[in-house]
Amino acid sequence: MSVIPRVEILARLGGRLLEGPAWDAPHARVLLVDIEGRRRHAVDWATGDVTTHEANETETAWIPRSAGGTVVVCRRGVRLADDDGVGELALEVEEERRSNRSNDAKCDPAGRLWLGTMSDAEDEPVGSLYRLDADLSLTRVLEGTTISNGLGWSPDARRMYFVDSPTRRVDAFAYDIGVGEASDRSVFVETTDFPGVPDGLAVDGEGCVWVAMHDGAALLRFSPDGRHVGTLDIPVPRPTSCCFAGPSLDRLVVTTAASDDGSGGDLFVCDVGVAGMPTIAFAG
């Protein structure tokens, strides 16, 4: 097991709940949202300049779109948008359950958008995990989740990872990239021996999984067979998610949430010595 070098500030944002980092390669920028602050931020990789957009509802992911522009996962559903995240609602998700909101979202290697939901109370298993195909058809894949969080795929796309945070596990599914089917759910790793609760995740080029431990002040790296092989200490208590960024995808970017001690809510970056998997654009 190795201890990774310390992280540095990429952008001071003073946010409340930064989440959903994504690498927008065509524009060489990092996209992220502040869920509770109702803002979207775009951070220019070369200059560090931050462009901020106000939102009129909670937004939980902001992802490039292969046809141009972006897709925004918001409280009500999914919005197809321009490069600034401005656009019309394409479909509603769980319109019958207004006490639920969207949470983490990510595209599989074929460009299908996977997104989870959760209740505002965060304590009831009334959320679900969905797959949105390029034709905007929505399929509920999993029910009974409480805080649907981290998503990721192995480099060969034969395995999908998923976090329902209160379980304190990362689960794995066998994945059929041809049809976007996740099956044979199993426990990939238990995190009960580590401080904090698993939140967002990213997968590197060696197939290792990096898990942000909310209230654990660290990202944990697990090998493809589930062994804990590295720790990235974060100088604030609440890392929320991560993605690989930069022209060579060799920097790990980490979002954080504000803590009771006043720290957090900024964007961090670290050279972790391995390149990662790219952010996949939505194919719809």
Per-residue pLDDT of the chain (284 residues; tens, 9 = 90+): 455 567 899 999 999 999 999 999 999 999 999 999 999 999 999 999 999 999 999 999 999 999 999 999 999 999 999 999 999 999 999 988 889 999 999 999 999 999 999 999 998 999 999 999 999 999 999 999 999 999 999 999 999 999 999 999 999 999 999 999 999 999 999 999 999 999 999 999 999 999 999 999 999 999 999 999 999 999 999 999 999 999 999 999 999 999 999 999 999 999 999 999 999 999 99
Q: What is the C-alpha R_g of the chain?
A: 17
User: Residue 4's pLDDT is what?
Assistant: 54
Which pair of tokens denotes residue 54?
């106000």
The partner residues of 214 in beta bridges, in order of sequence, read: 197
Asked if 127 and 140 touch (Cβ cutoff 8 Å), the reply is no
How much is the pLDDT for 241?
98
Class of domain 2-270: mainly beta
Q: Which residue has the tokens 């999908």?
A: 160
Phi-psi region of 250 (alpha: psi -120 to 50; beta: other; left: phi over 0): alpha
CA distance 183 to 169: 17
Looking at the chain, the whole-number percentage of residues with pLDDT higher than 70 is 98
Q: Look at residues 234, 242, 243 and name the one whose alpha carbon lies nearest to residue 215.
A: 234
pLDDT tens by residue, 143-160: 999 999 999 999 999 999
pLDDT at 1: 43
| Catalytic residue annotation | 199
Pairing of strands 39-44, 50-54: antiparallel
Cα distance between residue 68 and residue 256, in whole Å: 28
CB 240 within 8 A of CB 218: no
| Own/partner pairs, 236-239, CB within 8 angstroms, 24+ separation | 236/263, 236/264, 236/266, 237/261, 237/263, 237/264, 238/214, 238/264, 239/199, 239/212, 239/213, 239/214, 239/268
In order of 65, 123, 212, 230, 263, the CA distances from 73 in angstroms are 12, 22, 20, 31, 27
Could you state, in order of their start, the residue ranges of all structural domains in the chain? 2-270
Q: How confident is the model over 97-155, as pLDDT tens digits? A: 889 999 999 999 999 999 999 999 998 999 999 999 999 999 999 999 999 999 999 99
Q: Give residue 264's pLDDT.
A: 97
